[in-house]
Structure 1
Amino acid sequence: MRTVLVTGPGGAGASTVAAATALAAARAGVRTLLITADPPPGLTAPGTPGLTVRTLDSAGVFQDRAADLQERLSTVFDLVGASPLDTEEFTELPGSREFALLHALGATGGHDIVVADLPPVCGAIRLLALPEQLRRYLARLLPAERQAARALRPMLAQLAGVPMPAEWLYETAARWDAELAAVQAVIESAATTVRLVVEPGPRTADRIRAARTGLALFGHRLESVTANRLLPTGSADPFLAGLSGQQQDHLKALYEEFTADGVPVRELPHLGRDPYGPDDLAALGGQDAGADPLPATPAAEPWSVQDRWAADGQLVWRLPLPGATRDTLDLVRRGDEVVVDAAGFRRIMPLPSALRRCTVSGAALRDGVLEVRFVPDPELWPR
């Protein structure tokens, strides 16, 4: 199954492009699912064979999860004499829409291609990083070696004189971890790509550069950049000609930045009105979605270790971070993990096994690639 994640700066038209992409794939005969919080006006699933539009029900997902958690906490409520809430009392909290989107990404069976309309790009990057982060928190708070001693908890509680975590806590954590793992598998799949939608303008370059760095930091494969709402060139109206000329200058800068790295830039015209219905979406050129439900080749692992032992006695961990600058980049090692801060984003990653027995000897950012140099630790490296 192929998954296309569509995002961009707020107001760039990512939701419209996501709908056009899904419509084009369905019309090409591919079973397509569009996940969106705001379906474009006039687009209904029954009107297009092969297209399913799933509108996020954030309130429903939140109520279901809250009710499930309350049921699992019923023993605790009984102990403290608290009364459980009625289902009608659960009020949707901020962030529930994002969690509903992750829930939908983990339940997409029966389709060849899934097109997900994500929030604005900076929020989307942090949202896509959430499953990995939450699983890390669960592993730290409830490590496997502690769960293995479940049978001993009643005895340990008597010996220590303090209550031990109840069975429901471990069961709930295991269930959450399994659900997060399913979403993480979709996000990190070689068949999952990102389409970045922008409206060329004076602020586009800076906003996209930071977004590009964040996408690379978390290993997302940038499939293409869509330049949206392009005005026609050659207008006789001086005002429109001036606006179009400025837009073309910014479009040229997009081509120079992205095509140099093999990322295609696609152009969509301004219709002169807000798109409405399948005909307008088709007019936007969504046919670039393609009928192939899988990429031609799996995405290569972007982060690699180079063996330079013979040349200079070092191992080099190469981390592609296009758009990153030295003043927005920081790197800290914590035991067997590395904390990387880039363009306002942070990722904590385990070191490759070979590098865990090494010490950091230096790092440098060259041509959009962070190279971290390691030398073997004499106390840990086998002789």
Structure 2
Amino acid sequence: PEELRRCLRRLLPPERQAARALRPVLGRLAGVPMPAEALYEATARWDLELAAAEAVLADRHTAVRLVAEPGPAGADAVRAAALGLALRGLRTDLLVANRVLPEDAPADSWLSGPLAQQRKTLEEWRGAHDVRAVAHLGRDPRGTDDLAALDVPGVNADASPVEWPVTDRLAEDGVLVWHIPLPGAVREDLDLIRRGDELVVAAGPFRRVVPLPSVLRRCTVDGAALRDGALAVRFAPDPELWPRGR
């Protein structure tokens, strides 16, 4: 939502919308058609709806539950989703392994191949997520009775929000370090751009423009490193902006 709102503001900046009452006059003076009133109204409506969605995503207590079938395709989807959610600062409540096949199938059954893939995927997931397995019903669930039989756990309302802490290492290394959790990120697919008081972070197919914490706005980027699923961005104080005595 925040990226779409940013695009809307570029298409119809607030100052341009403020002049909407002068649209007929400006159209005659400029000699070109001006945006129709319906476009302004649609933009205002979209911005309001996107702002509501953005508020939900920005809430520190918002959690996301992932549901995937344990197999190669599901593993790829979960890795991508976990990275995208982490970049948005969203925590994963838990990962539901859906349609889990029974382990007691005969060794010579056609299920032996899918079961091997299932075991491998579940092992990978359990190393990174709180995994709850939901058994395969042998059919597509229909109605409330089938949904109840799935025994999906409730939402954990006490889970902690995702933190992006800033560590003060001025005394040791002369820098402040901003820690951004990015599980599954690959160094070659990372890109950082400082733009004013914002940091543009690109990780794989995902991109986000993040406002800098106030203390980092008076610093310059001094480097970054990706270790153990976390991006550490180093900031050195700008002598022209940093208070004396620090």
Q: Which TM-score tier does this pair reach, normalised by the shorter chain? A: 0.7 to 0.9
Alpha carbons of structure 1 residues 152 and 177: separation in structure 2 relative to 1, 3 Å:
closer
Equivalent residue in structure 1 for 2:146, among 280, 303, 306: 280
SS at match of 2:226: strand
Q: Using the alignment, how far apart are the partners of 2:69 and 2:131 within structure 1?
A: 12
Are 2:193 and 1:332 equivalent residues in the alignment? yes
Residue in structure 1 matched with residue 30 of structure 2 by the alignment: 162
Q: Is the 8 A contact 1:132 1:184 kept in 2?
A: yes
Residue in structure 2 matched with residue 209 of structure 1 by the alignment: 79
Q: Using the alignment, how far apart are the partners of 2:20 and 2:111 within structure 1?
A: 76
Equivalent residue in structure 1 for 2:44, among 157, 170, 174: 174
Residue in structure 2 matched with residue 264 of structure 1 by the alignment: 130
SS at match of 2:183: coil
TM-score by length of 2: 0.82
SS at match of 2:30: coil
Are 2:237 and 1:376 equivalent residues in the alignment? yes
Residue in structure 1 matched with residue 126 of structure 2 by the alignment: 255
Alpha carbons of structure 1 residues 337 and 140: separation in structure 2 relative to 1, 3 Å:
farther
Residue in structure 2 matched with residue 54 of structure 1 by the alignment: none
Q: Using the alignment, how far apart are the partners of 1:241 and 1:162 within structure 2?
A: 71
Are 2:221 and 1:346 equivalent residues in the alignment? no
Higher relative contact order (CA 8 A, sep 6+): 1
Q: Using the alignment, how far apart are the partners of 2:96 and 2:61 within structure 1?
A: 19
What is the Cα deviation at residue 141 of structure 1? 4.3
Render the CA deviation track for 1:357-381: whole Å, top value 9, x for unaligned. 2211100001101011111222333
Q: Is the 8 A contact 2:91 2:162 kept in 1?
A: no
What is the Cα deviation at residue 241 of structure 1? 6.1
Amino acid at match of 1:232: P
Q: Using the alignment, how far apart are the partners of 1:330 and 1:238 within structure 2?
A: 48
What is the Cα deviation at residue 331 of structure 1? 1.3
Render the CA deviation track for 1:216-272: whole Å, top value 9, x for unaligned. 11122211111111111223452156243442232122212x2xxxx3100011112
Render the CA deviation track for 1:43-80: whole Å, top value 9, x for unaligned. xxxxxxxxxxxxxxxxxxxxxxxxxxxxxxxxxxxxxx
Residue in structure 2 matched with residue 289 of structure 1 by the alignment: 154
TM-score by length of 1: 0.55
What is the percentage of aligned positions where both structures have the same residue?
52
Q: Using the alignment, how far apart are the partners of 1:330 and 1:363 within structure 2?
A: 10
Alpha carbons of structure 1 residues 248 and 350: separation in structure 2 relative to 1, 3 Å:
same
Q: Using the alignment, how far apart are the partners of 2:17 and 2:166 within structure 1?
A: 34
Q: Using the alignment, how far apart are the partners of 1:166 and 1:198 within structure 2?
A: 44
Residue in structure 2 matched with residue 309 of structure 1 by the alignment: 170
Runs (5+) with no aligned partner, structure 2: none
What is the Cα deviation at residue 147 of structure 1? 5.7
Alpha carbons of structure 1 residues 375 and 166: separation in structure 2 relative to 1, 3 Å:
same
Correspondences of 1:28-107 after superposition (within 5 Å): none
What is the Cα deviation at residue 138 of structure 1? 3.1
Residue in structure 1 matched with residue 58 of structure 2 by the alignment: 188
Q: Using the alignment, how far apart are the partners of 2:18 and 2:104 within structure 1?
A: 74
Q: Is the 8 A contact 2:90 2:162 kept in 1?
A: no
Alpha carbons of structure 1 residues 212 and 381: separation in structure 2 relative to 1, 3 Å:
same
What is the Cα deviation at residue 167 of structure 1? 9.2
Alpha carbons of structure 1 residues 301 and 279: separation in structure 2 relative to 1, 3 Å:
closer
SS at match of 2:234: strand
Alpha carbons of structure 1 residues 308 and 152: separation in structure 2 relative to 1, 3 Å:
farther
Amino acid at match of 1:252: E
Render the CA deviation track for 1:277-319: whole Å, top value 9, x for unaligned. 2222111112x125x8xx125x434323222223322111111
Q: Using the alignment, how far apart are the partners of 1:167 and 1:380 within structure 2?
A: 45
What is the Cα deviation at residue 336 of structure 1? 2.5
SS at match of 2:125: helix
Residue in structure 2 matched with residue 125 of structure 1 by the alignment: none
What is the Cα deviation at residue 213 of structure 1? 0.8
SS at match of 1:355: helix
Runs (5+) with no aligned partner, structure 1: 1-130
Amino acid at match of 1:224: L
- Bigger fraction of residues in helix: 1
